[in-house]
Chains A and B, each alone.
Chain A
Amino acid sequence: MSTQASRTAARLMISPAVILLLGWMIVPLAMTLWFSMQRYNLLMPGMGGFTGFDNYSYFLTDPAFFDAIKNTLVLVLGVLAITTVGGLLLALLLDQPFWGQGIVRVLVIAPFFVMPTVSALVWKNMFMNPVNGVFAHLAKSIGLQPYDFLAQSPLASIVLIVAWQWLPFATLILLTALQSLDSEQLEAAEMDGAGPISRFFYVMLPHLARAITVVILIQTIFLLSTFAEILVTTNGGPGTASTTLTYLVYVQSLLQFDVGSGAAGGIVAVVLANIVAIFLMRMIGKNLEN
């Protein structure tokens, strides 16, 4: 790949893929931008026209908007906290030699293969349901009032469901990172007088820093777009108690039939997600270097 000719050939070869991907991204983005500046309500055909930034001001002043921002933050941070800490502990546990290790490791990954809608429905109907759910039965068996998870603490319940799905991902990445740690380093630390807790904080955790960064970055990107779990469990309610930004965009454009406002919300979400991404890259992305 050094001669002028081979470089030109290489550019020619990759250009179809690059152009296709660019088009795939640019066209919807441009259309969304265009719709976001149109008066475009499916219930009022023929009333269209350019409205400038009106859709944005409606979306940003909607009382649901700030709830959605807050809920998105709680969802992302809550799931991140549960999965990184839980994943770390599970990885430490699975790293220990025990009988049936291979099977247990496969089982741990299993939740990741379940579709979000399916797992959310299983949680909703079989675990959290106040009449038939397992938790309700447990509560009744010790004489307590069953707790209606999705009605009384909808956001926390969704955090729990999403965290359950993402825990295997974090566990798997952290486990492989843990296994790549040179055992002589741990033995050296043991000789140096470091107990199990010191060994974890001084040797293991720094070794895992890069893997933890990867987990946080990838999960943040996917968690910002969480949708299916909300749709099949709470529908964003009660009220706006579990409406995230993604869900609000859906509500605007497909439940209130206001495509223009929905598109404006989409653009706002894109801008916010990019701010978060830049922020993350600056803050922890340097862990990925060297």
Chain B
Amino acid sequence: MGEIVLKGVTKRFGDVEVIPPIDLAIHDGEFVVFVGPSGCGKSTLLRLIAGLEDVSGGKIEIDGKDATETAPSDRGLAMVFQSYALYPHMSVKKNIAFPLKMAKLPPAEIEAKVQAAAKVLNLSAYLDRKPGQLSGGQRQRVAIGRAIVRSPEAFLFDEPLSNLDAALRVNMRLEISELHHTLKTTMIYVTHDQVEAMTMADKIVVLQAGRIEQVGSPLELYRTPRNRFVAGFIGSPKMNFIEGAEAAKHGAHAIGIRPEHIRISTTEGMWKGTVGVSEHLGSDTFLHVTTEHGLLNVRAGGEVDLHHGDSVFLSPDMAQLHRFDKEGGALK
């Protein structure tokens, strides 16, 4: 079981309220991702759940029991830190065994659990090495190993992939998703990378300045963002926004259209423009087109043969148009 419910949880540092009252329910077995720009309070929220920070108000319930005042080690949660936080003087084996040793389990049982965890994470060959002798990805796996041996109610990940290079990050992303399918334990994952959020999450919580902007499945957020911030944050490349007269035609303060929902043509279309930089990725081409409504990003197929300075016409897919009011809220 790993059900975590936040009821009006607040955090203040002195007079500064970093997290205004938040209500959130995380169901058993869910993979929840907290995503937002840096400084939005997502790591603080995770540390509040872990118990490493005291809440200033509100209640945290884990499996229906009030855990607001419970010590971090008694909450049944395991955490993987951004810096991995491995103990540098202990071997991989001792690192993984540490929580079990602290729980005073018999040595035979510790040994069996460590071996099992090492097998799951492909660490069996490295058990006698020190963390300093491992690569970034292996250290990450040791940190995960130290978390899974305790069979926690839920895992907390604090930007675990931000120290890895791009290729390894994709790999570890798959491994963590795979781990979630195997263990079926609740996982809470903090990241500023919306790609990680989209690919891994069952449920995404988008945060800005401590407030929850929207909660939903990745596709829900992609299709029906509740406001302009979420619309701009989810999706890559970012959604294009057009304000002014063009937006007024659709009865809105601003309209938003994703790069993949714009058709590009050299002969006819709604908006005329000039191609600027084009990024050829092989499968796709991202074009930056200057129009009378400003710079628009357009995604086209890989074969598109357009170059800097070419005149083009753009037509948005009307069914995929997002409309926003003056405050940034989405209009239905």
Interface pair B83/A182, CB less than 8 Å apart: yes
**Complex CA–CA separation, A209 to B87 (angstroms):** 14
Chain B: interface size category:
20 to 34
A184, A198, A207: the one within 8 Å of B81 (CB): A184
B62-105: contact bitstring with A at CB < 8 Å (1 yes, 0 no)? 00000000001100011101110111111000000011001100
Interface size on A, residues (CB 8 A): 18
Please name all residues of chain A whose beta carbon is closer than 8 Å to the beta carbon of B86 when the two chains form the complex.
Answer: 185, 188
Closest residue of chain B to A290, judged by CB? B132
A182 to chain B: which residues have CB within 8 Å? 83, 85
Stretch in A120-128, A132-140, A189-197, A253-261 with 4+ CB within 8 Å of B? A189-197
Residue of B nearest to A186 (CB): B85
Q: How far is the CA of A187 from the CA of B156 in the complex (A)?
A: 13
Q: Which residues of chain B are near A198, meaning CB under 8 Å?
A: 102
Cβ of A206 within 8 Å of any chain B Cβ, yes or no, is: yes
A191-B50 CB under 8 A given contacts A182-B83, A202-B87: yes
The A contact surface, by secondary structure, is helix
Q: Known contacts A192-B146, A193-B73, A198-B102: does B89 contact A187 (CB below 8 Å)? A: no
Question: Does B52 make an interface contact (CB < 8 A)?
Answer: yes
Residue among B79, B82, B85, B88 having the largest count of chain A Cβ atoms under 10 Å = B85
**What's the least CB distance linking B328 to chain A, in Å?**
36
Residue A151 at the B interface, CB < 8 A?
Answer: no
What residues of B have a CB within 8 angstroms of the CB of A160 in the complex?
none
Minimum C-beta distance from B120 to chain A (A) = 19
The smallest C-beta distance from B153 to any residue of chain A, in angstroms, reads 13
Instruction: Give the nearest-CB partner of B52 in chain A.
Output: A187
Q: Out of A185, A193, A209, A290, which one reaches B102, CB within 8 Å?
A: A193
Complex contacts, B98 vs chain A, CB 8 Å: 189, 192, 194, 202
Interface string of B128-145 (1 = CB under 8 A from A): 000010000000000000
Contact residue among A185, A188, A203 (Cβ-Cβ distance under 8 Å from B79): A188
Q: Chain A 160-194 against B: per-residue CB contact (8 Å), 1 yes, 0 no?
A: 00000000000000000000001011011111111
Tell me whether A192 and B89 are in contact in the complex, defined as CB-CB below 8 angstroms, given that A187-B52, A198-B102 are known contacts: no
Contact of A191 among B79, B83, B88 (CB under 8 A): B79
Name the 6 nearest CB pairs between A and B, nearest first. Answer: A193-B73, A188-B85, A192-B99, A184-B85, A206-B89, A193-B102
Residues of A within 8 A of B (CB): 182, 184-185, 187-194, 198, 202-203, 206-207, 209, 290
Other than A185-B85, A188-B79, A191-B78, give 20 A-B pairs with Cβ distance below 8 A: A182-B83, A185-B87, A187-B52, A187-B79, A187-B81, A187-B85, A188-B86, A188-B146, A189-B87, A191-B50, A191-B99, A192-B146, A193-B99, A193-B102, A194-B98, A194-B102, A198-B102, A206-B90, A209-B89, A290-B132
